[in-house]
Structure 1
Amino acid sequence: MKTDTKISGSGKIGQGEYNLIKISGSGAIEGPVTFETFKVSGSCKVCPNAALEGNEMHISGSIHSQSEIKVNTLHVSGSLHSENDMKVRSLKASGSCHLQGKIYADEIYVSGSLKSSEEVNADIVEIRGMATLNDLFGEQITFIPENCNSFNFFRFAKHRKLSNVKNIECTTLEAGCLQCDTISAKNILLTDGCVVNHIQCDGTLSYDSTCQIGTVEGNCAQKLLS
């Protein structure tokens, strides 16, 4: 029978099957655990070889994981630092996510910050905050940071940061305020000061006058937006 376990002061949780894990103090996960719900409003350390697997995680505090995370839904309004791979169906982050392992997801929605030194792979990726990524793969990818629009671009250009991605491969990309080394996609829309060194496109490439684009390869129709 699955049980509930809660830490409100400081404590450790060992290997087991749980219905609810709730940490509002300072806790450590020392063995593999499965769960229905995992909530962290305090701080949590996940030790090596203490894999997390369950239905849903809610992080409003901070968690530092050295083990694999495998969940259906992951909500981060606090801080997540993961040193291992993550497999999720849905990641929604309004806080901070720092990933050192690979992440595989069906959908990723970020209104906070996302940083990864490894591969990020998801069918749908929507970034409305800030991202610093290495390789990003997906079907439909969108970078639309809040307050990113052409009307304000020149006035505030010196004070704004761009999301930075080394390599993007997808079917459809819509991006504003993005700096990228290489983009490979069928259909691409770039606005609001995007800076891209190289583009491989076999469909349509649309961009406005605020963008800086290097070389373009492929059989694509190009359109400069007014």
Structure 2
Amino acid sequence: MSELRDVKISGSGTIAGGEYNIVKISGSGKIDGDVRCKIIGISGSASIDGYIYTDELKISGSCKIIGDTKCEIGKVSGSATIEGNMSGKEIRISGGTKIAGSMNFNTIQISGSLTAGGDVEGENVIINGACKVDGLINGENIDIKLDGKSWSKELGGEKITISRGETYSLLKIFSKALRRGSFVCESIEGNEIDIEYTESSVVRGKNINIGAGCKIAKVEYYDTLDIHEDAEVGEKIKL
């Protein structure tokens, strides 16, 4: 059996889908069909008219993928649009990423903005920026540092932390007077919950800290409940 070959597009060009060793696209390139490879590296502008299955995914610049994307390790910077689902072991995203479907990785680290049409699930979900998730955000450890308006339908995990990000640049301070972050969802459920500037109909958990800027219609707790003087909480129920 022959070894898989490497393919490369420099400038402008198109390659057919198939099985490869290493795929590199720089400039403006297109893959016409599904692709399986060990490594795919995309810089500049690229479009993939199919799914990607790879050990290592590197995207910088602008990329659009029509199908599902599966990668063991992924790093995305710039702008990426995924028309399907994303899954694998570890994904690190900076810039702006839009996913029509769901995202499922062991570790998810977002810096910038994430838009997802489905669920976002992982053992560790770390978001530093803004997120718009139409489904559930679920993980063992969820840490969201807000910079802008964010929302999800539901939020569930072992340990959940929501706070305002502190990495504001001088440009943001003076030009936008600190663009403040907030998080809105229908329900939050976990064991250890520590949130601020969050609006939710229901928060349910073991130990709950409701911080500044929160508006919570109902809190259900098992052990402890602390409420900041600047928070608005309606019904409080000890389970």
Report the TM-score range of the alignment, normalised by the length of the smaller protein. 0.7 to 0.9
For 2:50 and 2:118, locate their aligned partners in 1 and report how far apart those are by CA, in whole Å: 19
2:137 counterpart (94, 98, 120): 120
Unaligned runs of 5+ in 2: 5-19, 168-177
Q: What is the 5 A alignment of 1:190-201?
A: 190-201=210-221
Amino acid at match of 2:61: G
- 1:30 Cα deviation (Å)? 1.8
With over 3 angstroms needed to count, the CA separation of the structure-2 counterparts of 1:64 and 1:210, relative to structure 1, is same
The percent identity for this pair of structures is 25
Q: Is the 8 A contact 2:51 2:65 kept in 1?
A: no
Amino acid at match of 1:113: A
Q: Deviations over 1:120-143 (max 9, x none)?
A: 111110011243111111110001
Query: Which ranges of 4 or more aligned residues in structure 1 deviate by more than 3 Å?
Result: 158-161
Q: Give 2:21's aligned residue.
A: 3
Q: Is the 8 A contact 1:34 1:52 kept in 2?
A: yes
Q: Is the 8 A contact 1:59 1:79 kept in 2?
A: no
Q: Is the 8 A contact 2:45 2:62 kept in 1?
A: yes
- 1:31 Cα deviation (Å)? 2.3
Q: Is the 8 A contact 2:164 2:180 kept in 1?
A: no
Q: What is the 5 A alignment of 1:6-155?
A: 6-13=24-31, 14-47=33-66, 50-130=67-147, 131-147=150-166
- Name which of structure 1's ranges 90-99 and 163-172 shifts more when overlaid on structure 2: 163-172
Q: What is the 5 A alignment of 1:129-208?
A: 129-130=146-147, 131-147=150-166, 160-208=180-228
Partner secondary structure for residue 128 of structure 1: strand
Amino acid at match of 1:28: S
- 1:46 Cα deviation (Å)? 1.2
For 2:191 and 2:183, locate their aligned partners in 1 and report how far apart those are by CA, in whole Å: 19
Q: Is the 8 A contact 1:125 1:138 kept in 2?
A: yes
For 1:132 and 1:141, locate their aligned partners in 2 and report how far apart those are by CA, in whole Å: 15
Q: Is the 8 A contact 2:22 2:39 kept in 1?
A: yes
With over 3 angstroms needed to count, the CA separation of the structure-2 counterparts of 1:95 and 1:160, relative to structure 1, is closer
Q: TM-score, normalised by structure 2?
A: 0.81
With over 3 angstroms needed to count, the CA separation of the structure-2 counterparts of 1:160 and 1:11, relative to structure 1, is closer
Q: TM-score, normalised by structure 1?
A: 0.86
Q: Is the 8 A contact 1:55 1:72 kept in 2?
A: yes
- 1:94 Cα deviation (Å)? 1.0
- 1:193 Cα deviation (Å)? 2.0
Partner secondary structure for residue 118 of structure 2: coil
Partner secondary structure for residue 15 of structure 1: strand
With over 3 angstroms needed to count, the CA separation of the structure-2 counterparts of 1:52 and 1:160, relative to structure 1, is closer
- 1:159 Cα deviation (Å)? 7.0
- Output the aligned Cα RMSD: 1.9
Amino acid at match of 1:177: Y
For 2:223 and 2:120, locate their aligned partners in 1 and report how far apart those are by CA, in whole Å: 28
Q: Deviations over 1:179-198 (max 9, x none)?
A: 22211111101122211111
